[in-house]
Amino acid sequence: MKLQKTTLILLGIATILGVGVYVYELQINTQQEEIAAQNKQLFTFDEKDIKVLTIETKDTTYKFERTSEEKQSWQMKKPQETVANDAVIAFLTNLLVNSETARTLTVPNAQKKEYGLDKPLGTITIELENKKQHKIILGQPNFQEELLYAQIDPQTSQQQEITINLVPKNFQYAVDREPEEWTQKN
């Protein structure tokens, strides 16, 4: 049985289109998914890049610096100079590096108060090895009490609108601690 010339042409076109769809789905679509995942990530630095953490709460300010020691990698500098609790700091740094924003809102700057960003639960300032700084301001929980409103790397100028991210509530547990929890127990 012989195939007609038009059937062979259609078969060739179908093959070319099939290969094109396959390449698109495999390469281009995968790249777009990776970009979308990066856009949802709060910060793009690695945990090992964090040099200094400053946590400002309603009650006090804590400052921690990474040491060169393997056994005890964090030192508390404020409010007292002592050995920091590595587990508590690791919990926070892991959140900073691995958390994603659940949703992003753009609201007028005047509505900052409605999200608890005028009197934040806590403010975390991160200084990296390359001297770059990042900041996350933690506001109040959302209506379902599952996420926190947060402002990431806020602009210093008086802008008309601000971007608010919904972040995991674990940030509240990471910064809302008793003072003795931040230090290493002997």
Mean pLDDT of 165-181: 89
Beta bridge partners of 138: 122, 150
Tens-place pLDDT, residues 49-96: 999 999 999 888 999 999 887 777 899 898 888 888 888 999 999 999
Q: Which pLDDT score, from 0 to 100, does residue 186 have?
A: 62
Beta bridge partners of 163: 106
Q: Answer whether residue 36 shows pLDDT above 60.
A: no
| Alpha carbon distance 167, 96 (integer Å) | 10
pTM score, whole prediction: 0.74
Residue environment code for 125-140, b if the CB has 16+ CB neighbours within 10 A, otherwise e: bbbbeeeeebebbbbe
Q: Which pLDDT score, from 0 to 100, does residue 68 have?
A: 83
CA 116 to chain centre: 19
Q: Which pLDDT score, from 0 to 100, does residue 34 have?
A: 55
Tens-place pLDDT, residues 97-129: 988 888 888 888 888 888 888 889 999 999 999
Q: Which pLDDT score, from 0 to 100, does residue 156 have?
A: 66
Q: Which pLDDT score, from 0 to 100, does residue 22 have?
A: 80
Distance in Å from the first CA to the final CA of the chain: 87
Q: Which pLDDT score, from 0 to 100, does residue 43 have?
A: 85
Q: Which pLDDT score, from 0 to 100, does residue 67 have?
A: 87
Tallying the residues shown for the chain, one arrives at: 186
Q: Answer whether residue 32 shows pLDDT above 70.
A: no
Q: Tell me the residue type at 171.
A: F
Mean pLDDT of 3-12: 82
Please work out, in degrees rounded to the nearest 5, the angle formed at the alpha carbon of residue 94 by the alpha carbons of 92 and 98: 125
Q: Which pLDDT score, from 0 to 100, does residue 2 have?
A: 65
| Average pLDDT in the chain | 84
Residue with the larger pLDDT of the pair 33 and 93: 93
Tens-place pLDDT, residues 63-76: 999 988 777 789 98
